[in-house]
Structures are given as C-alpha cells and as structure tokens.
Amino acid sequence: MRHIMSKEDFLSILDRQQQSGLTIKDFCENEAYSVSCFHYWKSKYGHTAIKSPQRYRLWQDTGFVGHKPEGVQVCMPIKKPKGKELTEIQKKENKRISGIRIKVEHAIGGVKKCRIVKERFRCHKFEFEDMVILLACGLHNFRITQRIRYVKL
C-alpha cells in the first residue's frame, strides 16, 4: 500500500535530515525511507519553506494582483483609479518601484539569450532545470563582467 505524505510531514523529515548532518542516502537508510522517494518529495516540497521571510520582497507588476505568497513583502505599483489621478507621492513610489523592476527585467532578458532557458525542457532528469538556469545565470553574469568598455581616445 502506498503511503501519501503531507507537505508538513515531509518538511519535518527534511528538517530532521538537515539537523542530523547525514547525507540523504545515510539518513534514508537509518530511517527506512527510499532514497528515490525522498528526492521526489524534496523536489516537490523541499524549496517551499522560506527560512527568513522578512528578507524577501516580491517586485511584481499589476498583472499579478491576486498573487501574494505567505510571509513575503509584495512591492507593486499603484493603479490609477478610474476617473481620478494619482497623488505625487504615489507617482514617486511607482517610479521607484519601476526603476528597480526594470533592472530585474533586463537581467531576465539577458538570461534568456541562452535559448534553452526560454524553450520547453524535454529532459526530465532530477534537478536538470535548476542546473540549466544556474548555468544561464552564470553565463549572463560572465557576459556582464567581461563587457568591453569602449573609450574614445
């Protein structure tokens, strides 16, 4: 019979594994868990626990009005009300948020220069997508640091 594990059950097991200091293989042998099942549950729920939510801010645009993750500060521009104008303070805040978001959008565009990032993945190996994104981000950072600045003489 197959045991269905809840998210809370697995997160407590993952916490025990991290506190034990053992590798996943050794921990699973001691606790009589299947290593493949442990990796499956870790890929499904392992990254959902936010350790210190005070640090995280979500810079989103007005297209994601209903999206508010638990424990994350959401920074979003204020929409102009129908038939009214925004105040000067609201306009300045929108400009500040847009200035930050444009840098993020440019970074995402730079990462998407690697075509594999914007196409659909057909390889379903464990953590393959994470590895591809990390490599694309690394290449983007390398491109930025190695830019040649043209100086007029």
Q: Where are the domains of the chain?
A: 7-45, 53-145
Of the ranges 3-17, 70-84, 91-105, 136-150, the best mean pLDDT one: 91-105
**Cα-based torsion angle of the residue sequence 6, 10, 12, 18 in order, rounded to the nearest 10 degrees:** -170
Report which secondary-structure segment, H or E, holds 57: strand 57-59
Q: In the structure, what pLDDT confidence band is assigned to residue 21 with cuts at 50, 70 and 90?
A: confident
pLDDT of residue 2: 52
pLDDT of residue 46: 63
Of 103, 95, 106, 101, nearest to 59 by C-alpha is 101
pLDDT of residue 1: 42
Q: In the structure, what pLDDT confidence band is assigned to residue 44 with cuts at 50, 70 and 90?
A: confident
More confident residue, 6 or 138: 138
More confident residue, 98 or 50: 98
pLDDT of residue 92: 93
pLDDT of residue 91: 92
